[in-house]
Amino acid sequence: MELTLKDIQQPIIADMKVFEKNFRKSMKTKVLLLDTITNFIIKSKGKQMRPMFVFLSAGTVGQVAEATHRGAALIELLHTATLVHDDVVDDANFRRGFFSINALWKNKVAVLVGDYLLSRGLLLSVENGDFELLKIVSTAVKEMSEGELLQMEKARKLDITEEVYYEVIRQKTASLIAACCGVGAASAGASEEVIGQMTQFGEKVGMAFQIKDDLFDFGEEEIGKPRGIDIKEKKMTLPLIHALKHADWATRRKILHKIKNKTDDPEEVRKVIDFVHQSGGIAYAQQKMEQYLKEALAIVEDFPASEYKTSLIQLVEFTMLRKK
């Protein structure tokens, strides 16, 4: 029988309910416009995987504490702030099937709302003396910004190597999941060594997660995001990088010319996708994804058996089996 998120949440169901309440409270404001927007954000929120990683990591290595609840709220506030800002940067009108903040209230308001959420997260930590948690999450936000900028810099030249790709996704995606698991462990009073292990676990899960996401670009149209979005945006992902690396000079030049100049033509995008399939780029990326996953699960293997640990492993499997 296929596991649902509700099944996975069993050990933390009460904690997630308290989290929901606290998260709403942490966004409250006397400014009517801001209150309207934060209510909209709460209604349009996603599956809340990140708070789940925080609570399950805490329970795996110790016990869920008050600090765990603050850590989960901090992660969600800062993550939501980065999403609001991302939609402005990407000029995106939709987020999870809802209109984005910038689509409804324009860029100026969206940037200020992002700043507000960021400051609420910082204050929540400072007022409670959660400096270790704040350090972990602030480091992740710094890395996410660097990763985005590194990707933009490389997209202009299309000269991204496999090593640079791993650095981009480590910073852009894996750093936040690593922070969730590190915050969970730190909030439960774990040792530096255990916090490090859980951070490493989250990073490897995040790497596998992003490679999986990049593979959707070369899949069938009915699953995940539409085919070829990354190619149209000139994002060099692992399947394409591997295919180009092993192509002869003339083929490489021809494909790069298509990516630089012809991504408005769906037929040309399809030719690039076919080239990646035929060159073994998909199989190579899947192998790398499975390797990161295996390394992640090996890290938590030695932690004592518990319902939290079981759910944490199930949550990882759930994220990897997703269709979008």
| Within-domain flag for 62 | yes
Number of domains in the chain: 1
Give the H or E element holding residue 284: helix 281-300
- Tens of pLDDT, residue by residue over 186-214, are 999 999 999 999 999 999 999 999 999 89
In 3D, which of 45, 11, 50 has the Cα closest to residue 180?
A: 50
Distance set, CA 106 to CA 33, 46, 79, 86, 110 (Å): 13, 22, 20, 13, 6
Q: What is the pLDDT of residues 249-288, one digit of tens each?
A: 999 999 888 888 877 888 888 888 999 999 999 999 999 9
pLDDT in tens, 162-178: 999 999 999 999 999 99
pLDDT digit string, tens, across residues 60-119: 999 999 999 999 999 988 888 887 766 676 666 655 566 667 766 767 777 777 788 888
Give the pTM. Answer: 0.88
- Residue 261 in any domain: the answer is no
Q: What angle do CA 166, 169, 175 make, to 5 degrees?
A: 115
Measured between alpha carbons, how far is 270 from 276 in angstroms, rounded to an integer? 10
Residue 163 lies in a domain: yes
**Whether the Cβ atoms of residue 269 and residue 231 lie closer than 8 Å to each other:** yes
Residue 259 located in a structural domain: no
CB 215 within 8 A of CB 202: no
pLDDT in tens, 199-252: 999 999 999 999 998 998 887 544 445 567 887 877 889 999 999 999 999 999
Percent of all residues in the chain with a pLDDT value above 90, rounded to a whole number:
50
Query: Is residue 253 assigned to a domain?
Result: no
Backbone angles phi, psi at 95, to 5 degrees: -145, 120
pLDDT of amino acid 221 = 44
Q: CA-CA distance, 24 to 221, in Å (whole number)?
A: 36
pLDDT at 222: 40
Domain that holds residue 299: 5-216+280-314
CB atoms within 10 A of CB 159: 11
Instruction: Say how far apart CA 115 and CA 273 lie, in whole Å.
Output: 39
Q: Taking the CA atoms of 304, 305, 311 and 314 in sequence, report the sign of the dihedral they define.
A: positive
What is the percent of the chain with per-residue pLDDT over 70, rounded to a whole number? 88
CATH code: domain of residue 48: 1.10.600.10
Closest to 103 measured CA to CA, from 117, 78, 84: 84
Calpha distance 36→31 (Å, rounded): 9
Q: How many residues does the chain have?
A: 324
Domain assignment present for 70: yes
Across 23-37, 68-82, 293-307, the highest mean pLDDT is recorded for 293-307
